[in-house]
Structure 1
Amino acid sequence: MRDEVKYLLENDLAMPSSSPWSSPCILVPKPDGTSRLCTDYRKVNSVTMPDSFPLPRLDDCIDTVGAATYVTKLDLLKGYWQVPLTSRASEIYAFVTPDNFLQYSVMAFGMRNAPATFQRLVNSVLADVPNCSAYLDDLVIYSSEWSDHVNTLREVCERLAAASLTLNLAKCEFGKATVTYLGKKIGHGQVRPVDAQVLAITAFPAPTTRRELRRFLGMVGYYRSFCKKFSAVAAPLTDLLSPARSFVWSPDCQKDFDTAKALLCTTPVLAAPDFERPFKLEVDASTRGAGAVLLQQDKSGVDHPVCYFSRKFNKCQANYATIEQETLALLLALQYFEVYIGSSDCIY
């Protein structure tokens, strides 16, 4: 912790404080073996008025890349730390360590309005740049023509420089056919899960506690749009999360656990949506829940999945008649895929 504090002071990221505010901090291990200094701002956040500036949908950021031939991913170096705090805000975000009482001079992770503030900043810098999307400190540029790609990249870099925003070149990828962006591999009209994440899921041991099971379902759930009937497969596992029932890992649970893994082991591939062409929606229902897939035909007339949807039925819905469950499945699918089919032709 002393090394982390020394780094903050030497780089003018924090300063000695005499603020009436104070929050505790801890060291959190990172995947690469190093540690990150994190401040617990829960008490401060509980009395902070929220900033309602919206963050973009992750799927929207990924879908916009579409069938682009060239893709560049940019990462801003310690993004939040590039935003200075006012003197008043700096006092509020004071923190205590075993040896020091300090306050940040820059925006730190954990502050309630940090995501909204940073997204507003990035949007104001890049708002009218074509073929460029940003989710917090992750930026993506996509083009079909190389000359357009170079021009857009130059424009983005000039704007970032003018705003005194610095890139982390070690995490940037320039002019590639596919890049890893927001946990997915995108480019050339395809979307895939990240190989490293799939390996982590397949190597995940059988959970022995609710906490471990919740972590597994969170990892798999991020890729549920790749998995057909995910909710039906995961239903027995999600039932185990209820504190009202005992956590007993039965053979049936192990079977569903292995099936959930297998859904991603097949290396699923989704087609990036093309909003200029009609979609095709297929819906199904079972006693466990609803399932649907949104499809689009390629130029050869072959259907490719764009996104999968599934939803577990509650106790009441599980007792519906078959025709009622199928109707409910259609309604749920239409609501879920509205962002795709709301303004496009769709075949049901």
Structure 2
Amino acid sequence: MVCSLKKDGSLRLCLDSKRLNEAIKRYPHKTPTLEEVNPQFHGAKWFSKLDAKAGYWSVQLDEQSQALTTFRTPLGRYCFTRLPFGLNISQDIFQQRVAEILEGLEGCVGIADDICVFGKTEEQHDKRLLSLLERAKETGLVFNSDKCFIKQRRIAFFRNVYSEDGTSPDPDKVKDIKNMPSPQHKEDLQRFLGLLTYMGSFIPNLSQKSASLRQLLKKEKPYDSSEDHQQAYDMLKDAISEYSSMAYFDTTTSVTLEVDASLKGLGAALLQNGRPVAFVSKTLTPTQTN
């Protein structure tokens, strides 16, 4: 058994299932991406977010599967009767269960253990929220009241903030990035670039702007940061707050696609009514530049 601390300070019990994971054949269930989810919020003005309480433990294991989770303790052997943390298929199974629960419900999106309900009017939002609660009661899904936010005008959901005006990076995530000290090792830089990758759609030409920093991560090279690298690092920290809000994609409105290319990379911006909807970029490999 392995224990880890949750954000609220409580303990999370995880099964040390390294050997078991080696024998499990995964059937991955696709988790919705933000790129797929964002257009659904177009026109929404009211939002709620509900957190599934002990989400994995809402999934019952059959007897054969229970036996496979057996672990030893000084007091004897025990096994899990519910889906444990630690299995490489736990997230796939739970995400599939969430998808099954939400099937047929309009204005409901579930990613991991968070479910967001949205509507264009109060009446529509309330009706959709009630439908979700009724479905949760039918299926045995329980919510954590301390982590639920009901009938908000803006909501933080899976690293982004959603409102009537559009979507923007979670201010807490932006603050974390801006407060990060200059990286002293490859691991520090890797963590910084990893956080930026999650917010790549908010930063134009991210790949080109971060190209010099990613060169420092090459295994065959020692970490040797220069003043130019520091300038690139500072520029990226500022870039994350350059676009405070991105528009939702509107299927009824024409689009403008702006593209840019250089010897180092490619970039594009999708706009509607002059507002950015998404940014994408790619660094060219040495083979592609020759």
Greater relative contact order, per chain length (Cα 8 Å cut-off, separation 6+): 2
User: Do the aligned partners of 2:265 and 2:284 also contact (CA within 8 Å) in 1?
Assistant: yes
1:314 aligns with: 285
- 1:45 paired with 2:16, answer no
Residues 185, 97 of structure 1: alpha-carbon distance in 2 compared, 3 angstrom cutoff: farther
1:253, distance to aligned residue in structure 2 (A): 1.4
- 1:282 paired with 2:258, answer yes
1:27, distance to aligned residue in structure 2 (A): 3.0
Please list the CA deviations of residues 187-228 of structure 1 after superposition, one character each: whole Å capped at 9, or x if unmatched. 204101111111100111112222221111111111010001
1:305 aligns with: 276
Q: Classify the secondary structure of the residue corresponding to 2:234.
A: helix
Please list the CA deviations of residues 12-35 of structure 1 after superposition, one character each: whole Å capped at 9, or x if unmatched. xxxxxxxxxxxxx33334445554
Distance in 2, matches of 1:239 and 1:96, equals 46
1:329 aligns with: none
Distance in 2, matches of 1:267 and 1:98, equals 56
- Given residue 278 of structure 2, which amino acid in structure 1 is its aligned partner? C
- 1:111 paired with 2:87, answer yes
1:166, distance to aligned residue in structure 2 (A): 0.4
Please list the CA deviations of residues 284-342 of structure 1 after superposition, one character each: whole Å capped at 9, or x if unmatched. 01122111100001xxxxx00000111111112233xxxxxxxxxxxxxxxxxxxxxxx
Q: Classify the secondary structure of the residue corresponding to 1:104.
A: coil
1:148 aligns with: 124
Distance in 2, matches of 1:138 and 1:114, equals 16
Q: Classify the secondary structure of the residue corresponding to 2:183.
A: coil
1:181 aligns with: 157
Q: TM-score, normalised by structure 1?
A: 0.79
Residues 52, 214 of structure 1: alpha-carbon distance in 2 compared, 3 angstrom cutoff: same
- Given residue 313 of structure 1, which amino acid in structure 2 is its aligned partner? L
User: Do the aligned partners of 2:46 and 2:121 also contact (CA within 8 Å) in 1?
Assistant: yes
1:345 aligns with: none
Q: Classify the secondary structure of the residue corresponding to 2:196.
A: helix
Please list the CA deviations of residues 48-75 of structure 1 after superposition, one character each: whole Å capped at 9, or x if unmatched. 1112332222322233112201111111
Q: Classify the secondary structure of the residue corresponding to 1:27.
A: strand
User: Do the aligned partners of 2:21 and 2:87 also contact (CA within 8 Å) in 1?
Assistant: yes
- 1:207 paired with 2:207, answer no
Which runs of no fewer than 5 residues in structure 2 stay unpaired?
none
1:268 aligns with: 244
Distance in 2, matches of 1:171 and 1:243, equals 42
Instruction: State how 1:1-348 maps to structure 2 within 5 Å.
Output: 25-96=1-72, 101-266=77-242, 268-297=244-273, 303-319=274-290
Residues 34, 156 of structure 1: alpha-carbon distance in 2 compared, 3 angstrom cutoff: closer
1:99, distance to aligned residue in structure 2 (A): 6.2
Q: TM-score, normalised by structure 2?
A: 0.94
Distance in 2, matches of 1:33 and 1:136, equals 20
Please list the CA deviations of residues 266-288 of structure 1 after superposition, one character each: whole Å capped at 9, or x if unmatched. 35311111112121110001122
Distance in 2, matches of 1:229 and 1:98, equals 56
Please list the CA deviations of residues 229-248 of structure 1 after superposition, one character each: whole Å capped at 9, or x if unmatched. 11111111111111111111
Distance in 2, matches of 1:208 and 1:32, equals 30
Q: CA RMSD in A?
A: 1.8
Distance in 2, matches of 1:60 and 1:219, equals 20
User: Do the aligned partners of 1:61 and 1:135 also contact (CA within 8 Å) in 2?
Assistant: no
